[in-house]
Amino acid sequence: MKIAVAGTGYVGLVTGVCLAEHKHEVTCVDVDEKKIEKMQQGISPIYEKGLPELMKKNMDRLTFTTDYKNAYADAEVIFIGVGTPEKVDGSANLKYVYTVAKQIAESVERDCVVVVKSTVPIGTNDKIENYIREHLIHPVEIDCVSNPEFLSQGTAVRDTLHAARIIIGAENEKAGEVLMKVYENFEAPKILTNRRSAEMIKYASNDFLALKISYVNEIANFCETVGADIEDVARGMGMDERIGNKFLKAGIGYGGSCFPKDTKALHWLGNYYDKEFKTIKAAIEVNDNQKLKLIKKARQYYSSLEGLTVAVLGLTFKPGTNDLREAPSIINVGILLDDGAIVKAYDPVAEIEFDKLYPGKIKYCESPEQALEEADLCMIFTEWEEIKNLAPQAFCNKMKKPVILDGRNCFQIKELEKLPLIYDSIGRRTVRNI
């Protein structure tokens, strides 16, 4: 089929490339000319495992352009995959979605199905369909379908090509059949429902996972108080098939482009309808507090951070991506700098983007070992393999004073308990040998 995709971020680009992999003719549209030029050369503008290879493989079926009018004019299906960032009040900002809707209304010259891939509040598809129909230039038929994405950064290609499920929210049979045809070669269960249910499935899924993370982090914090081990607790919980073992890894909270904004958006929407989501509110509060866990721990070991050299290992919100959105490292590094600490940081992919946040204030290192040299304190924010594979002895050999605060439980207690160091992690006993 002839498909256009609006937006070339994580959702739009991965969607477009994976549709091309399944033999569709795909035109990806973006307003950023520099991004388009890169992609025309087969260069991915985002760090995502497997994406560059898949782009190059399917370049004969991929077109990248800023010319939305030609892209939308004769497309059979148009996917909207632009961002829906949160507003100051926590609600979803839909300006980019409506911008694309206006462009579609002005450009389409044939009957087509508009697919909202972006995460949007319940009822948005209804509004977008009405908006496009009201602003159509040409006498064509437009149907809007909700088709939420469920990809994770770092595994986005795999999550799209081998999806756990494909949700199609349509109000008429014809539009639903078009999407079924788009996905006919995708080996995944397909659920056909109405648009509002599809929109709700996305929020309900993401917010449940966020709640699960916040819950295990609260349990981890209590484990520290009573002397239990969160890894044993989580293992025991996960063996119950009703609970499952995923999203039970304790740490310093969730970040990224989905969980933070989607929890806030649904909480805002609930309040708008006078239906407060108390569980979601609690998840947000727990996560906000958890992000500061390492700073609180640091102040147990040092009365002042001024003048201390701090090794920061990992900057992104998770390994496998260069995305810094809502990463715990951001607020913690800011506090360190405000308190007068000297920050040395290592991350395999995030240096350029992080330096935009704190230009010239951080020394970036080429390896974890280099970051540890002469450090008074080490804080681990991301469980990159390069960090997890550090020899524990390196903390003792490189650091001035080996005080390690591990926000991702990268190391086993047994590996460190015989070394002359302090190792303080999340929900586990602390090693205090200095």
Interaxial angle between packed helices 328-338 and 293-301, expressed in degrees from 0 to 180 and rounded to the nearest 10: 40
Residue 318 assigned as binding residue: yes
The two beta strands, 2-6 and 25-29, are: parallel
Report the Cα 17 to chain-centroid distance in Å.
19
Report the Cα 358 to chain-centroid distance in Å.
21
Judged by DSSP in three states, 83 sits in coil
Residue 202 assigned as binding residue: yes
Residue 255 assigned as binding residue: yes
Residue 382 assigned as binding residue: no
Cβ atoms of 426 and 289 within 8 Å: the answer is no
Distance set, CA 263 to CA 206, 209, 221, 270, 378 (Å): 8, 10, 22, 11, 31
Residue 247 assigned as binding residue: yes
Q: Which tokens in the block code for residue 50?
A: 């497997």
Q: Which tokens in the block code for residue 282?
A: 């609690």
Q: What residues contact 272, with CB distance under 8 A and at least 6 apart?
A: 91
Residue 119 assigned as binding residue: yes
Residue 251 assigned as binding residue: yes
Spatial strand order of the sheet with 25-29 comes to: 62-65, 25-29, 2-6, 77-80, 112-116, 142-146, 166-169, 190-193
Q: Output the DSSP codes for 311-358.
A: EEE--SSSTT----TT-HHHHHHHHHHHTT-EEEEE-SS-HHHHHHHS
The two beta strands, 342-346 and 363-364, are: parallel
Interaxial angle between packed helices 278-290 and 259-272, expressed in degrees from 0 to 180 and rounded to the nearest 10: 140
Backbone angles phi, psi at 26, to 5 degrees: -120, 130
**What is the rounded CA–CA span in Å between residue 277 and residue 267?**
6
Residue 406 assigned as binding residue: no
Residue 407 assigned as binding residue: no
Per the annotation, the verdict on 18 as an active-site residue is no
Residue 244 assigned as binding residue: no
Cβ atoms of 380 and 387 within 8 Å: the answer is yes
Catalytic residue (choose from 223, 258, 378, 410): 258
Residues at the binding site for substrate are 202, 247-251, 255, 318
Which residue ranges are tagged as binding site for NAD(+)?
A: 30, 35, 84, 119, 261, 325
**Residues forming the active site:** 258
